[in-house]
Amino acid sequence: MDNSIFNNKDELIMSLVHYFVTEEDYSPINVKGAQNEIWLENLDAPYKIIRINSKYIHNEEQFNMDMFKMGFVIRQIKRKTLSFKMKVLNICLDMNDNVKLEDNKVINTVNVSNINDLKKNKLLGELFPKIKTEHLQRTNNIMKVLSATEDINKKTAEENDKYEEVFRPKKIIITKILIILCVLCYFVTIIKPEYIYMFANSKQGFLNFEFYRLLTSAFLHGGLVHLVVNMYSLWVIGSQLETVIGKTKFSIIYILSALMGSMFSAVFLKDSMSLGASGAIFGLMGSLLYFGYHYRIYLSNALTNQIIPIIIINLILGFTISGIDNAAHIGGLIGGYLATMLVGIKYKSSKSEHINGGIVYTLLLIFLTYVIFKLA
């Protein structure tokens, strides 16, 4: 087979895509209307977007127009990925040497025409040290091109397998157990109403070191309507989160959310009591918020059209309707978010996120404990 069908530019494009996909965990993204350019995405990298442009740019006017068009595409990607800041690397492969490159706050442009230019580029060398190694080689024959294509396809298949594993429907167990426990506790309190006074959350109980109330109160409900509304919410939200986050992590998140919700509630309680699963349920929403942000490539519409609006609406209702413990809702929401940071999300969370989540959650508990005793 004739190797000449691949020119130097094709070889450079293949090498770049191969390197960024296999070594730097970038993924190709589809940009509508883009021709002679490849867009790559890694939201955890210094440059969230890399654009490889093979179109010939012969003067500064054309370069400025190209930058303007890039800005439009970048704004679309930012909205889709809920990114406030987004650094973009614009790699131009065919540009007149007389064109003056001007970076802006978002886009950094480099002009390279061959592999040697790429390896000598100071900016790329600092951010992507591996780009200087022997891994990035010219693909002078069809077998090397095919090998690079196979590597890219393999990497893409691995990412698809991870996605399938996370979002594959799974048997719901923990959510059902929690609902059953809440229902059983409700009927027990009908038979023995005094249990509500013994196990509901109260500031005086906390001051008496009855810390078990922080968790037991999350399984008690003050009436049938209260129970039904919370259990319906728990089923809708819990079954979704348990599927994607896993049973063990889901259980930990629920408990830590209930605990943080009760702690926030105890700060504002006076002589009254608080009970109900809503603090923990808000924690599950906080967890979905954290999960949705990390998987926003796939869940951006659900995050902006469902999860965030539901949280906002419920918080507004809590402020406008009497008898609702909105402090528990806010505490649960924060607790669920931090608890998810602590336990982590498969394939997404880093060790530093686990540590930061645990530290912030613990410090917040200590601070709230101090405030409760200080205000007593």
Residues labelled as active-site residues: 278, 329
Sign of the CA dihedral running 331, 332, 334, 335: positive
Look up residue 160 and give its two tokens. 């698809």
CB proximity list for 162: less than 8 A, separation 6 or greater: 346, 347
Point out which residues pair with 28 in neighbouring strands: 40
Q: Look at strands 27-29 and 37-41 and give their pairing.
A: antiparallel
Point out which residues pair with 37 in neighbouring strands: 53
Residue 33 vs residues 26, 36, 53, 238, 298: alpha-carbon distances, Å: 21, 10, 13, 40, 21
Point out which residues pair with 110 in neighbouring strands: 91
C-alpha span between 157 and 40 (Å, rounded): 16
